[in-house]
């Protein structure tokens, strides 16, 4: 493992994004929708940086199962999301990889008639996008590597790390060592 982004850089960037969101949505009814489980830490830090009134909710989206680095079928659970009709919505996710998760969430939330819909991610993995969608706000562009920490996991571990770390092939084990990252 090697450290890609230290905690102090993450904190500074999240605060900058929070200030931008506060300016962009000032005087408007904002709902922040975090994507479970990876975005929990980002959502907690980001909502403290957003200096305008806002609601918070969550959706659960999962395309990785267990200790794998290959995405599977995307499943969504929208039961923890508040009513968003007529409100500005900001979807917050941990990482933008292929874009399939964000693309599907945008489509699903649009059906609920928000006034506007924007997206924010901490990490944007370059060169992997498979859909015609890009995040409106992002923290850091990163290489095509499998990363953990600050909410991101591998086999449901490493979420607790304050920094963003790159797992190297030897860290991924024999079953996943040659598979492509997220």
Is residue 178 in a domain? Answer: no
The per-residue pLDDT for range 107-161, each reduced to its tens digit, is: 999 999 999 999 999 999 988 888 888 999 999 999 999 999 999 999 889 999 9
The Cα 80–Cα 86 span in angstroms is: 18
Q: Which residues pair with 60 in a beta bridge?
A: 36, 77
Q: The CATH number of the domain where 20 resides is what?
A: 3.40.50.2020
Say how far apart CA 9 and CA 6 lie, in whole Å.
6
Does residue 182 lie in a domain region?
Answer: no
Give the pLDDT band (50/70/90) at residue 173: low
Cα-only R_g, the chain: 16
Say if 16 falls within a structural domain.
yes
Task: State the catalytic residues.
Answer: 97
Q: Domain range for residue 80?
A: 2-172
CA 42/CA 53 separation, integer angstroms: 18
CB hemisphere CA count around 69 (13 angstroms)? 21
For the whole prediction, is pTM greater than 0.75? yes
Residue 177 in any domain: the answer is no
| Structural domains in the chain (count) | 1
């Amino acid at each position: 493992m090697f450290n890609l982004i230290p905690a102090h850089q993450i904190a500074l960037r999240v605060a900058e994004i929070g200030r931008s969101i506060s300016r962009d949505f000032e005087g408007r009814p904002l709902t922040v929708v975090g994507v479970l489980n990876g975005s929990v830490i980002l959502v907690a830090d980001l909502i403290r940086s957003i200096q305008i009134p806002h609601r918070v909710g969550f959706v659960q989206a999962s395309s990785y199962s267990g200790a794998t680095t290959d995405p599977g079928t995307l499943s969504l659970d929208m039961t923890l999301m508040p009513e968003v009709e007529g409100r500005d919505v900001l979807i917050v996710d941990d990482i933008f990889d292929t874009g399939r998760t964000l693309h599907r969430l945008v489509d699903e939330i649009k059906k609920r008639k928000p006034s506007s819909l924007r997206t924010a991610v901490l990490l944007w993995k370059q060169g992997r996008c498979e859909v015609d969608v890009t995040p409106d706000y992002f923290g850091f562009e990163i290489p095509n590597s499998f990363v953990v920490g600050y909410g991101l996991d591998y086999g449901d571990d490493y979420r607790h790390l304050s920094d963003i770390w790159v797992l190297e092939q030897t860290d991924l084990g024999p079953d996943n060592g040659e598979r492509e990252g997220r």
